[in-house]
Amino acid sequence: MNKAQRVEFIQQKLDSLYPETPIPLNHKDPYTLLVAVLLSAQCTDARVNLVTPALFDKADNPFAMADLSVTEVEEIIRPCGLAPKKAAAIVQLSRILVSSFSGLVPESFEELERLPGVGHKTASVVMSQAFGHPAFPVDTHIHRLAQRWGLSSGRNVVQTEKDLKRLFPSSRWNRLHLQIIFYGREFCTARGCDGTVCEICRTCFPTRTKPKKTLKS
């Protein structure tokens, strides 16, 4: 298969497996999604979904969260890891939303990425999943699959995002990002597939005999 054929096959396969793409993090609005995505750094979505009900029972909007102390938030979110850093970011960004954005999550990459604890990937998730703007959030899992599938040879997620955006139409980015995550969790896991095991890897590279190592910067 050449790259164009791989792109077409991957799209068809993912569409057949995942015709629906529910957002994995439980939330009710852009703010609660923003907080949940921030908590998901180096933590599973499943664990975040176990922690956020207690957090959102106490504060599910920027005004209530801004009134909490960092220590109060840290105690609740401790199971998610990196609790001191995440708690400080959540409280600080909530206070900024109250003081500068009337309590609303801004609908732009530039303004989102200026908030404490919000990097490009987090901003991309919020822009795509909360507001519906075309974005292609790339984490280490998507980076790994893109290399296994011969879609990118970038050494970091920044280059992989650029490569994937060139290969797929913007109308597919939001859905495809989730489909790749779902497939990576179910079939092409970090340990369960080395680039030679799952159906997509075997179909795209039927003669590959050695594990595909993920390039990193």
Give the residue numbers marked as catalytic.
121, 139
Closest to 133 in 3D by CA, of 39, 37, 30, 32: 30
Closest to 89 in 3D by CA, of 103, 101, 73, 78: 73
Q: Is 82 exposed, middle or buried (0-12, 13-18, 19+ CB in 10 A)?
A: middle
Q: How many CB atoms lie within 10 A of CB 122?
A: 21
- Radius of gyration of the chain from its Cα atoms, rounded to whole angstroms: 18
